Amino acid sequence: MIPRRTMLGGSLTATALTRPAHARPVPLRIGWLTMQRPASLAPFIPALRAGLAERNLVEGRDLILDFRFGNDDRARVPALLDELMRVPVRLLLVQGAAAAPVIRARPPVPVVFVMSSDPVAAGLADSLSRPPAGVTGITFLSAALNGKRVELLHELRPGLQRLAVLSNPGHPGEALERAEAEAAARRHGMAARFHHVQNEAELDAAFAVMAADDAEGMVVFADGFALQNRTAIAAFATARRIPLISGWRAFAEAGALVSYGPRLEDAYRRLAHFVARILRGARPEDMPIEQPRVFELVVNQRSAEVIGIEISTALLARADLVLE
């Protein structure tokens, strides 16, 4: 356990703004810690950097981003955290599944997280408006969107009756997502069968059951595991001519018929807002945990042609992006 400082905000107060005019600027080190692989975050790090630049925080001049990647091994997170504390860093940006163990370790610097889990369900905050001391961030989870995704599948294939749902039971917020999806399925006369997957063996087993069930539509709850296996999931759905919908654009780009959910690049860009305020003296716990502000509907027209679904003109007009 790392001892926690008593005055988080005061130790970070506008260092760059209080240097004497003749002093050589010393960039602040910001740690980035994730359990994932570098390639999985390729579109999002540039968005973070752009957000920092918009707030006059120039990488190399004002700050240095110090990256640590767990390469899909959760057990590596504590050691990577210790490495960053020895650097030392002045603030931690923590992504995805690494957030929970880092926050529970109570590091002696502010923590800003970005994750798809529900921080309240994960026991990391009492509420979105009341984050714990030294912690704040962004959650992508909006359980109600799963009901809208089921409705979109109904719109795309009105006679759909057998719905398959891929979910990760270890993902905080899964119970809320399931309740929303089940309610929407009932409203539209669908029988929803849930397939819990946390590893590739379970994913292969779920594929076999869905094929035996002759599933007519598929919803994938977006999380880190699903994202990293999105190509295999989309390939299975396309081969079986099953319309597939999930929450992030990357799924549609991988071959899902539709994605509807937060624009992740905007969320990663928004992280810079927290960084700038904390470095200028704000306390993390005074900034409520945020949910996504911008959502997008992406339609993969190529997949529609392969599985034999005609996308209505009305739905195409609503789409933010059509992949042709």
Compute how many other C-beta atoms are within 10 angstroms of the C-beta atom of residue 241.
Answer: 12
The reply to whether 268 falls in a domain is yes
**Cα distance from N-terminal residue to C-terminal residue, the chain:** 52
Question: Does the pLDDT value for residue 10 go beyond 60?
Answer: no
- The DSSP symbol for 127 reads B
- Domain of residue 159, residue span: 144-262+296-323
- Asked if 153 and 257 sit in the same domain, the reply is yes
- Asked if 240 and 272 sit in the same domain, the reply is no
> Across residues 74-103, what is the average pLDDT?
95
- Asked if 241 and 170 sit in the same domain, the reply is yes
Per-residue pLDDT, 280: 94
Q: Is the pTM of this model over 0.95?
A: no
- Asked if 121 and 177 sit in the same domain, the reply is no
Q: Which two tokens stand for residue 52?
A: 């920092």
Question: Does the pLDDT value for residue 273 go beyond 80?
Answer: yes
- Asked if 129 and 269 sit in the same domain, the reply is yes
The reply to whether 2 falls in a domain is no
The number of domains in the chain is 2
Give the CATH number of the domain where residue 49 resides. Answer: 3.40.50.2300
Beta bridge partners of 93: 32, 112
The length of the chain, given as a count of residues: 324
Beta bridge partners of 194: 165
The reply to whether 20 falls in a domain is yes
The residue with greater pLDDT, 277 or 73, is 277
- Asked if 179 and 216 sit in the same domain, the reply is yes
The reply to whether 72 falls in a domain is yes
The reply to whether 195 falls in a domain is yes
